Structure 1
Amino acid sequence: MTVKRTDRDGVAILMIDNPPVNALSCRTGVVDGIAGALRACASDAAVVAIVLCGSGRCFSAGADIADFGDDPRSDVAPVRALMALLDDIGKPVVAAMHGMAFGGGLELALACHARVCADSTQLALPEVTLGLLPGAGGTQRLPRLAGPEAALDIMLSGRRMSATEALRLGIIDRVSDGDLLTAATALGREIAGQPAPLPRVRDRSIAGSLDVAAARSAAAKRRGLGDAPRLIVECVEAALGLPFDEGLAFEHGAFDRLMVSEAARGLRHAFLAERKAPSVPGLPVPRPAGRWSTAAVVGAGTMGTGIATVLLEAGFRVSLVDSSAEALSRASATVERAIGLAVEKGRCTAAEAAARSERLRCVADLDAAAGADLFIEAAFEDLEVKRRIFERIDRIAGPDAMLATNTSTLDVDRIADATGRPESVIGLHFFSPAPVMKLLEVIRGPRTAPQVVADALALARRIGKTGVVSGVCDGFIGNRIFEEYLRQAYFLLEEGALPAQIDGAMERWGFAMGPLRVMDLAGQDIGWNIRKRRAVEQPDRPYSRIPDLLCERGRFGQKTGAGYYLYPPGSRRGEPDPEIDAMIVQHSATLGIARRDIADEEIVERCLFAMVNEGARILEEGIAARPLDIDVVYLNGYGFPRFRGGPMFHADRLGLPTVLDRIGTFARGYQGWAWEPSPLLARLAGDGAGFATLNG
């Protein structure tokens, strides 16, 4: 049973029971179950009012995204029929909301005759983040309750509201700080005792007007979400200018168009992939989160300081370890600034800020951190340095401690060899800046215990990160693919492109930053050190000399004020530098290359298909278990445009035969050796299949 009914003195209480978040699933019969229960109550002479509520931790988190496919009208038809039933039912229906009332869940409540919230309830219409709009009457009902300006802000931002704000805006009728169902049943009886007709939201007039020009401007700023922001504005305009049923028909048509748009498909894939990535088959249940309370972060540089900040926010007591007093002093000041900023932005109270400060210890001796539940090494990217640190950690850590390295490229298994417990060693690759970036690559060594992997994924959730499991290879999932992306960017520079064109092409395609700007931000010296190591280890995979020429001039990016671009004081975007453009042109001449005009389309294809081809190799080798894991890494760690779904998903949308054909074309061009197609890519393309068939 997806809906459970109980009765209280003439009031039927219908409880949606579809754990964990009471999704309004058409596929599993939840929506039809609600409709059937409502009809039964409507025909029951003993029932004077109806209360809709949710079981467990929330009212409803909205529609089940897995229901959405290629036929929007049939996919959402039961939901629309349910809303029409609520409009026509002859008895008052009160929504009693607790926990979350999101998306279709909130739209369900808006179609009821009244709404009551527990004081801790959060409400939202986040459809825009999926490239959609509220498609079950939300764009027509919300303006009738909150006014067009407030309704538009709520729908364009997708932000969460508190029950108090919802009451102030007129979206709900009451906030209950006592028993929610008692308050809802009382309101139901109250409405039942009033003269007809029942108070329907659809019958309300809209108070206030809309500054259409400002609304369209606000929508235009919501980039990367397809046509959804613009159509949300048009739906609110329809609510203002058309009768309810005509406005509703306009909303339904707009929703149906968005459902089959490429942007919405990509955003839905991203949403579902991020929820599936931490679910790794075959892992045991993680140990209770309460067992993790103390952490030691070894290395007080930028990354170590950021990791310490993240752990403090999650409630850990943190020992930040570094032999340099200067580094510790700088790190302590940085953490305190971050804590102060959190208070300023309302993300924590002054009392919590004080508690975070109290939980941090800066120590020069690793022995002072003995007994920590979690050790995270965040030292310089040098294998021997890390091995020496792990030898010391092994001596002082308790038997159940997790020993983690933050390496971005090095062999976790060789680091684990420095300990007597390789089963406890794991990679936790944070991305910079650690307090901001959502991705956490969980590097599973060949001897890492499954329990430790499960615990690491649970830790990722606790600290607000999206954990993705990777096997061990040079660069893991993200940086190994990024190397091929950069390789093509550098070859394009040699052939005829300039930095601003390459970055501009990738940014116009949707990347947050182009590849050369990324390296200026990360620090050109980091890549330089990696290339020196790989030139010895992989001499058969040559690199362009251009980034090395840049480093030899001391141009390490933003931190030195110059990289591919010039960074005047206060500038983070950078300005093209004629000196570097001339250096690149001269290097092409040195190589005997006649520079040519390169179209933006070729830049995008070469950079993207190099990523896809390497991603396929990573799947072949088992470094990534599923294509969706690669997509999640790139969406959360590398600025890949979310509305395109990730590199592997986007390749499927293009068609793998198309991708393979273009790779063949590039293989006949400059540095064609880099374009040997992955056997997996060739097989899938030949079979007419896509990467999605490997997602399980």
Structure 2
Amino acid sequence: MPEVVRVERHGDVALIKVDNPPVNALGLALRAGLLAAFRATEADAAVRAVVLLCEGRTFMAGADIKEFGKPAQAPSLPELVEAIEAASKPSVAVIHGSALGGGLEVALACHYRIATTTAQVGLPEVKLGLLPGAGGTQRLPRLAGVAKALEMIVSGAPIGAAQAVEQGIVDELLDSDLADAGLAYARRLIAEGRGPRRTGERQAHLPDEDCAALIAAKHAEVQKRQPGLFSPLRCVAAVEAATRLPLAEGLKRERELFQECLASAQRAALIHSFFAEREAAKIAGLPADTPLREVRSAAVVGGGTMGVGIALCFANVGIPVKLLEIDGAALERALQRARAIYQASVERGSLSAEARDKRLGLLQGVLDDAALADVDLVIEAVFESLEVKRQVFARLDAVCKPGAILASNTSSLDLDQIAAFTQRPQDVVGLHFFSPANVMRLLEVVRGKATSAEVLASAMHLGKRLKKVAVAVGVCDGFVGNRMIFQYGRQAEFLLEEGASPAQVDKALRDFGMAMGPLAVRDLSGLDISHAIREGQRPRLKPGQTLPTVLDQLFAAGMLGQKSGVGFYRYQDGARAPQDNPALPAMLEQAAALRGIRRQPLSDEHIVERCLFALINEAAQILDEGIAQRASDIDLIFLNGYGFPSWRGGPLFYADSLGLEHVLQRIREFHQRFGAWWQPAPLLERLVAEGRRFADL
């Protein structure tokens, strides 16, 4: 087994080198090696200072994910960190790449810290339903103050090296070789007679900070912005302990809160999504060494909201992109939309004016198909009509160079039919972005029956370059996400006809944790779009499958959602705050009469089960058909594209947590009461019969 920790002597300075590729994760071997190395330097009378640095592309980037969920083995990370801080000889952490989680906790235990200008430091444990459990919540406030510590620990977001220096987390930036800089800094410490400077001995706040007020404000903010999440409030409580207790007692309280998070069901759900994101990149039958087509330039056909958002995705990562529109007026509207989006980012402080100008410089508006002749990839984002797509792809086929990837952003149409409009179906792939495309992380990569392995691999790689969560899916009506959401939204409409109000349906699902209620989402996207999709589905209905009629009534009345000022809700004076639509009750009574039912009160629990179990049942059918490769891919799609609560792990993880026997029992009851839409998925029945879960597939 390779040695992951080495100690070199450079006169009276000991250089401890870590080499545990790919990211120097703090697994058992590394923890044991580091502890032995620090103990050895402590015992060596000739050593007067210690330098800690890492080989490879990064400092220690956190815990070893292979150990997640397994029993802890000594030495633990807290034991290692305490030994480093307690040492009698000054230690210097030399940070490059990222010092994250346990890696930053190790650096905080060192007595001094220097970093490259490009380094980042952070404590992202909250994103996994945890909190820093090796002193991070106790030592960071003692360096950066309570306000900054709360911001970093509760958000989990890293900061750059320059800001880390400003906040007192890092002592200075280095501009030479890591080892040379570390040794020079250590020798300065010796020459100046500076010994250990233990973070834990400092006061846990800055002189002008009102700790109680900061803690109270962050607690209120978390409850408002992250309702239902377990670990952020424990993060706040741990930082509060740092302000009230001596280090030893604060560390004990931190560990208690860490164990609470570790035992939380939310931690399991968040770690499930962490692993799901890594698994999604692996596609069965697609070799890891599949050649990739280089995408050095791109084009988007269609300058509507979606088209502009997609174009910005490319500009944001430095890829030149052309935006094609039908006439000058439409093109100017599209470019103005792009300018407005970037300007809003500048005004929020999330983008510099220089970065705005650089990105806008990568965006070129064009009016002639011939301008697309040399691009490596084209994405159409035009109206969701098969005839319109036919016209666009016939033009692209004629003008684009051989080997160019031709992509469709269709959300529901048959990609195989679209590919057949060209003479190169092997080069056609679906790239289904989610609105707003420049913000939403999800990208469904749709593999048609003719899509080549090379194009599929290139599309998945492009998704990573665009900083998206790319998930490969197959061809069907709505692919994975929209096919499931059709069932979810349809049940919401049935519930209205049976007795619920839009406000009750939406609130019940928001209380469950969904980012928005299904009816508010419909109003936001436009009921004309929902109606067009519904009409396209109507000819494909199976025997016994009926449709709710309230959407038809709203569409016929010109009530199209926010764009018309009224839909399931009413929106006064252009405001987005929903109010009751006074015309809706009569429509719902009429819809109920058509179904031969009487509207009556429904419980929130019933509403949640009807909508979510419809998702789960459809997901099981999608898995069985091979449209999705694995259950975790489906969870990832709903976590990143549809506002499913991260702390519930996704629809199928949630189903496993409920118990599939219970889920199937309720689906069978709904099938008996409500008919053909609730036919239990055969896969779900097989899993229950075999005593297995979706996670076992």
Q: State the TM bucket, normalised to the shorter chain.
A: over 0.9
Give, in angstroms, the shift of residue 250 of structure 1: 0.7
Deviation of 1:481 after TM superposition, in Å, equals 0.6
Q: In the alignment, what sits opposite 2:400?
A: 397
330-339 vs 75-84, which deviates more? Answer: 75-84
For structure 2, which runs of at least 5 residues remain unmatched after alignment?
Answer: none
Shifted more, 97-106 versus 351-360: the winner is: 351-360
**Whole-angstrom distance in 1 between the partners of 2:227 and 2:16:** 39
Partner of 1:18: 20
Using a 3 Å threshold, how does the CA distance of structure 1 residues 314 and 152 change in structure 2: closer, same or farther?
closer
Distance in 2, matches of 1:379 and 1:481, equals 23
Q: What SS is found at the alignment partner of 2:573?
A: coil
Aligned equivalent of 1:49: 49
Matches within 5 A, 1:288-367: 291-367=294-370
Contact 2:291 2:454 in 1 (8 A): no
Q: Is the 8 A contact 2:139 2:204 kept in 1?
A: no
Aligned alpha-carbon RMSD (Å): 2.2
Q: Which amino acid aligns with 1:412?
A: L
**Cα distance in 2, alignment partners of residues 176 and 315 from structure 1:** 28
Deviations 1:450-504 (A, max 9, x none): 1111110111111121110001111101011111111211221121111111111
What is the alpha-carbon distance in structure 1 between the residues aligned to residue 98 and residue 574 of structure 2?
Answer: 42
1:62-211 maps to which residues of 2 (within 5 A)? 62-69=62-69, 74=72, 78-192=76-190, 198-207=196-205, 208=207, 209-210=210-211, 211=213
> For each residue in 1:101-120, what CA deviation from the matched residue of structure 2 results, as whole angstroms up to 9, or x when unmatched?
11111111111111111122
In structure 2, what is the Cα distance between the partners aligned to 1:629 and 1:105? 29
Contact kept? 1:227, 1:258, Cα under 8 Å: yes
Mapped to 2, the partners of 1:621 and 1:383 lie a distance apart of: 24
Contact persistence 1:119–1:175 (CA under 8 A):
yes
1:668–1:563 distance in 2 versus 1, CA, 3 Å: same
TM-score, structure 1 normalization:
0.94
Tell me what 2:285 maps to: 282
Query: Does 1:686 find its partner at 2:684?
Result: no
1:547 deviates by 1.1
Amino acid at match of 1:20: P
Whole-angstrom CA distance in 1 between matches of 2:353 and 2:584: 48
Letter in 1 for 2:40: A
CA distance in structure 2 between the partners assigned to 1:656 and 1:76 by the alignment: 37
Within a 5 Å distance, the mapping from 1:260-279 to structure 2 comes to 260-279=263-282
Alignment of 1:356-395 (within 5 A): 356-395=359-398
Q: Distance in 1 between matches of 2:275 and 2:259?
A: 20
Shift of 1:423: 0.9
Instruction: Please state how far the C-alpha of 1:237 moved relative to its aligned partner.
Output: 2.5
**Cα pair distance change 1:89/1:355, threshold 3 Å:** closer
Alignment of 1:574-593 (within 5 A): 574-593=578-597
Per the normalisation by structure 2, the TM-score is 0.94
Identity %: 46
Please report how far the alpha carbon of residue 220 of structure 1 lies from its aligned counterpart in structure 2 after TM superposition: 2.3
* Partner SS for 1:559: coil
Q: SS of 2:572's equivalent?
A: coil
Conserved? CA contact 1:285–1:451, under 8 Å: no
| SS at structure 2 position matched to 1:578 | coil
Structure 1 stretches of 5 or more lacking a match?
A: none
**Structure-to-structure mapping, 1:211-250, within 5 angstroms:** 211=213, 212-224=215-227, 226-250=229-253
Q: Aligned in 2, Cα 1:339/1:206: closer, same or farther, shift over 3 Å?
A: closer
Cα shift readout 1:63-98 (whole Å, capped 9, x = no counterpart): 234422275xx2686212211221333332211111
Report the equivalent of 2:541.
Answer: 538
Question: Is the Cα–Cα contact under 8 Å of residues 469 and 624 in structure 1 kept in the other structure?
Answer: yes
Residue 247 of structure 1 deviates from its aligned partner by: 1.2
CA contact (8 A) 2:384 2:410 kept: yes
- Give 1:289 shift: 8.2
How far does residue 39 in structure 1 lie from its aligned partner after superposition? Answer: 2.7
The match for 2:427 is 424
| Alignment check: 8 A CA contact 2:141 2:242 kept | yes
Corresponding residue SS for 2:78? helix
Q: For structure 1, which segment, 559-568 or 317-326, has the greater mean C-alpha deviation from structure 2 after superposition?
A: 317-326
Moved more, 254-263 or 277-286: 277-286
**1:637 paired residue number:** 641
**578-587 or 523-532, which deviates more:** 578-587
Q: Deviations over 1:187-241 (max 9, x none)?
A: 3344456769732212223344402432432332341562322222222222222
DSSP-derived class of the 1:12 partner:
strand
Tell me the distance in 2 between the aligned counterparts of 1:134 and 1:168: 22
2:408–2:430: 8 Å Cα contact kept in structure 1? yes
Question: In structure 2, the residue corresponding to 1:214 is in which secondary structure?
Answer: helix
SS in 2 for 1:594: coil
Alignment partners' CA distance in 2, 1:96 and 1:405? 47
Match runs of 1:662-673 below 5 Å: 662-669=666-673, 671-673=674-676
Question: 1:426, CA displacement in angstroms?
Answer: 0.3
- Greater shift after overlay, 81-90 or 455-464? 81-90
Q: Check conservation: 2:373, 2:399, Cα contact below 8 A.
A: yes
Pick from 447, 452, 464 the counterpart of residue 450 of structure 2.
447
**Distance in 2 between the 1:609 and 1:76 partners?**
43
Identify the match of residue 612 of structure 1 among 590, 611, 616. Answer: 616
Alignment: residue pair count:
689
Residue 122 of structure 1 deviates from its aligned partner by: 1.3
